[in-house]
Structure 1
Amino acid sequence: MRTALRSRPIRTFLAIQFLLEVQFWFPIWLIYLLDLGFSLTTAVLADGVFRLVTVACEFPVGVVADRVGRRRTYLALAAMAVLTFTAISQIGSVGTLFAAWVLWGVLWALTSGATAPYLYELCARDPLPVEPTKAFGLARAVGHASVFLSLLTAGYLYEADPRAPFAVTAALAAVALLLVLTLPEVPRPHAPTTLAAIAADLRAALARPAVRRAVWIAVLLLVLGWSARILFQPLALELRLSARTTGWMYAAFAAASVLGGLAAGQLSRRRRRAALATAFLLILGSLAATSQLPGLGPFLLLPVMGFGYVLGTTVLEVLTNEVTPSATRAAMFGLIAGAGGLAIAVARPGLGILVEDHPVTLGFAVWALVGVPIAALALRTVRRI
């Protein structure tokens, strides 16, 4: 990891990721909308629009990203963050609310293909050179450290001014935008522009068994690990945790995620299979254990889940970049996020409805049972990478 930190472009990239990954908004966005006078129904509908826009845009945005270049896509990501969070800080009507949430959906989709391919290609072209696994591990750790710190301070910002969390997020994104301008451009992929040629490139990439395996494992990990997060807040409510304690619960999850990124950065190629198997088993075991021992969930079992999820996703980011042709890298990450998002769009509301009238432990148990075939399919594929 020291080599990665000696590279100026990689250091700059890590600083940008820290600025863009802040989540001051995460604990308070619903409270913010309710305090502005919007009904819970309106807020939920806006969230639904956000998720529909995200799923619809993941793959098309990835295809476009492969054609406009890595640095330009990263610039667009930072610029969209400035625009989106500035718009959220200025919401004053239902129309501006939904417009801001549509922007947010596009921004969320843009993150799938903007960061991982650019970081991988920066590593490949660095004169040091930089081992991608180390750089990706650092990037994951830095991103989750940013989440950790922003979660701890979000409440204080909101108490100072309800619009402050979003305004600060926009300001940090503006700084990130300026830093992106200092990054080098990497050669643009020789990507075709006609729909027929684009489709042919994608078919050719997916015809590679290594690409299909990487995409398949990544989708399964995304569905298993991300869907379960809908149960975190109900668990805190069922355990009667205070708002402050709930904040610390999320902070513990973020801290464990930092460790997951650092651990992934230390892995050699021959340990990838073991790391991916460990990731799925840690998530599955945490789900099952929380269903039986909910009191251990907030500060032990859920952080273990976060560690496993980030360990697996970091390994898969590097693997997917390695096996995918440059001209389709962003599109593949968009495909993973879009396909996973479709499944999550069914799983998360389903789990939310289930625990509305039943103990949250049942939700964890049901998802653990669903996770058994998901993990089995993943582990079967992991053996062949």
Structure 2
Amino acid sequence: MRAALRSRAIRTFAITQFLLEVQFWFPVWLIYLLDLGFPLTTAVLADGVFRIVSVVCEFPLGVVADLIGRRRTYLALAGGTVLTFAAITQIRSGTVLFGAWVLWGVLWALASGAASTYLYELCAAEPDLSPAKAFGLVRAVGNVSVLLSLLAAGYLYEVDPRLPFAVTAAMGGVAFLLALTLPEIRESRVVSTFSSVVADIRWAAADARVRRAVWLGALLLFFGWSPRILFQPLALELDLTPRVTGWMYAAFAAASVLGGLVAGYVDARRRRVAVTTAFVLVFATLVATSQAQWLGPFLFLPVMGLGYALGTTVLEVFTNEVAPRAVRAMVFGLTACLGGAGIAVARPALGVLADNRSTPFAFGVWAGVGLVLVGLAVPAIRRMPRTHRPAPTQRNRQLAAELGMRVNASTDQRREN
């Protein structure tokens, strides 16, 4: 990863991601709304609106991101962070609450693939730079940001309930200024017509590697993200104090840092093993937590975080490699849309199970679902290529089409003769 650190663009990008990945809001957003006087039902409805908006916007915003380019999308992400979290600090009514949460859902959808596609193309601009190591570095830096912000969130909230959101907005502003110094990616072409967008989508859909990347990414997102709704109920059932609960989340984030670093050393030959390991670790920790919940917070859940970070980082690199450049963000949007649709159903269902039965029971049920998901993932994992073969450029596709036309013409002429 030293080569990645030697690159000024990658160093700047990593710092910018550190600022954008903070999650001061995560442990306190529900408490914040309740302290403002909103009933729990309103808060839950706002979260449901957020989920619906994010899922609906994933695919179209992916198309938009491909149209406007990587750097502009990334700047929009940073600017949107400032606007969204500044709006949250000004919530005084239900209208502003739902407006802020809709804006947050749009921002969440825009974030899908924005950093990943930009980082990959920054790496492509430096031939000696390994994308896997750059992704591992940036993922680790992002998880360090999550870790530190989770630890600090409670202390900031005690000073002023609006402070976690205000600090997030301020850091987004600094990220925007840093992003202005990042290099512009020279696009091979600009998509300007609907027909060209359709042609690129059809080309990507015809590529089996792209379909596998989307399938595996959506499955792992659905499988690994959904059970996070059970972390808080698990802490409550074990009578953990808020401070200990914070350390539980910190342990999960610390393990995710390790997962990102490990992913940096996974080349194309080891991808099958890495992705398989990710699914197996998530599945095993679900089973283990359902049987020995008292070991969950500081043993099983961190192992889940390590496996999830390892798998998602490896699949991000793989998806960037196989997706055509012109629709790369759209492919990530599709992946997030498919996984997010499942999450929107699974998370409330798991919450209800934990409330009506028990958290270990909910973990066990999701492990049963996970057995099916792992079975669905295995065929795609087995067909992942062991060598790195980038997606064809538009020029290569044109040459291939012309060659195909010439071959067909030559065949027809021989038949006539």
Asked if residue 49 in structure 1 is aligned to residue 53 in structure 2, the reply is: no
Q: Any idea what the Cα deviations from partners look like across 1:120-146, whole Å, max 9, x if unmatched?
A: 00001026x210000000111000100
1:370 Cα offset (Å): 0.5
| Cα separation, 2, equivalents of 1:190 and 1:315 | 27
Question: What secondary structure sits across from 2:91 in the alignment?
Answer: coil
| Cα separation, 2, equivalents of 1:193 and 1:342 | 30
Question: What secondary structure sits across from 2:113 in the alignment?
Answer: helix
Q: Any idea what the Cα deviations from partners look like across 1:90-148, whole Å, max 9, x if unmatched?
A: 11111111111111001100110311110000001026x21000000011100010000
| Cα separation, 2, equivalents of 1:51 and 1:39 | 19
Find the counterpart in structure 2 of residue 255 from structure 1: 254
CA contact (8 A) 1:191 1:198 kept: no
Q: Any idea what the Cα deviations from partners look like across 1:259-306, whole Å, max 9, x if unmatched?
A: 000000012221111000000000000000100010110000000000
Q: Any idea what the Cα deviations from partners look like across 1:311-363, whole Å, max 9, x if unmatched?
A: 00000000000001100100000000001111111111111111111011110
Find the counterpart in structure 2 of residue 122 from structure 1: 122
Find the counterpart in structure 1 of residue 274 from structure 2: 275
CA contact (8 A) 1:279 1:311 kept: yes
Structure 1 consecutive aligned stretches of length 4 or more whose deviation exceeds 6 Å: none
1:11 Cα offset (Å): 0.1
Find the counterpart in structure 2 of residue 107 from structure 1: 107
CA contact (8 A) 1:62 1:330 kept: yes
Find the counterpart in structure 2 of residue 150 from structure 1: 149
Q: Any idea what the Cα deviations from partners look like across 1:134-178, whole Å, max 9, x if unmatched?
A: 000011100010000000010010000111000000001100000
1:189 Cα offset (Å): 5.0
1:193 Cα offset (Å): 3.4
Asked if residue 182 in structure 1 is aligned to residue 190 in structure 2, the reply is: no
| Cα separation, 1, equivalents of 2:335 and 2:216 | 9
| Cα separation, 2, equivalents of 1:233 and 1:41 | 18
1:196 Cα offset (Å): 3.7
Asked if residue 346 in structure 1 is aligned to residue 345 in structure 2, the reply is: yes
Equivalent residues in 2 for 1:65-104 (5 A)?
Answer: 65-104=65-104
Q: Structure with the greater relative contact order (CA < 8 A, sep ≥ 6): 1 or 2? A: 1
TM-score (norm 1): 0.98
The change in CA–CA distance for 1:280 and 1:17 in structure 2 (over 3 A counts) is same
| Cα separation, 2, equivalents of 1:190 and 1:233 | 47
Matched to 1:383, the amino acid is: R
1:54 Cα offset (Å): 0.3
Find the counterpart in structure 1 of residue 243 from structure 2: 244
Matched to 2:146, the amino acid is: V
CA contact (8 A) 1:65 1:113 kept: no
Find the counterpart in structure 2 of residue 221 from structure 1: 220
| Cα separation, 2, equivalents of 1:48 and 1:188 | 37
Question: What secondary structure sits across from 2:183 in the alignment?
Answer: coil
| Cα separation, 1, equivalents of 2:113 and 2:368 | 32
| Cα separation, 2, equivalents of 1:247 and 1:62 | 34
| Cα separation, 2, equivalents of 1:137 and 1:343 | 27
Find the counterpart in structure 2 of residue 365 from structure 1: 364
TM-score (norm 2): 0.91
CA contact (8 A) 1:234 1:355 kept: yes
CA contact (8 A) 1:68 1:188 kept: no
Question: How many residues in Structure 1 have an aligned counterpart in Structure 2?
Answer: 384
Deviates more, 1:95-104 or 1:182-191: 182-191
Find the counterpart in structure 1 of residue 379 from structure 2: 380
Find the counterpart in structure 2 of residue 12 from structure 1: 12
Find the counterpart in structure 2 of residue 3 from structure 1: 3
Question: What secondary structure sits across from 1:63 in the alignment?
Answer: helix
Asked if residue 300 in structure 1 is aligned to residue 305 in structure 2, the reply is: no
Matched to 2:118, the amino acid is: Y
The structure that has the greater radius of gyration is 2
| Cα separation, 1, equivalents of 2:356 and 2:260 | 36
| Cα separation, 2, equivalents of 1:199 and 1:249 | 46
| Cα separation, 2, equivalents of 1:347 and 1:68 | 33
Question: What secondary structure sits across from 1:24 in the alignment?
Answer: coil
Matched to 1:125, the amino acid is: A
| Cα separation, 2, equivalents of 1:263 and 1:4 | 15
| Cα separation, 2, equivalents of 1:188 and 1:52 | 32
| Cα separation, 2, equivalents of 1:273 and 1:211 | 15
Matched to 2:18, the amino acid is: F
Unmatched tracts of structure 1, length 5 or more: none
Question: What secondary structure sits across from 1:26 in the alignment?
Answer: coil
Q: Any idea what the Cα deviations from partners look like across 1:30-85, whole Å, max 9, x if unmatched?
A: 00011111111111111111111100111100100001010000000000000000
CA contact (8 A) 1:276 1:311 kept: yes
CA contact (8 A) 1:226 1:344 kept: yes
Find the counterpart in structure 2 of residue 205 from structure 1: 204
Question: What secondary structure sits across from 1:115 in the alignment?
Answer: helix
Asked if residue 134 in structure 1 is aligned to residue 133 in structure 2, the reply is: yes
Q: CA RMSD in A?
A: 0.9
Deviates more, 1:331-340 or 1:349-358: 349-358
Unmatched tracts of structure 2, length 5 or more: 385-417
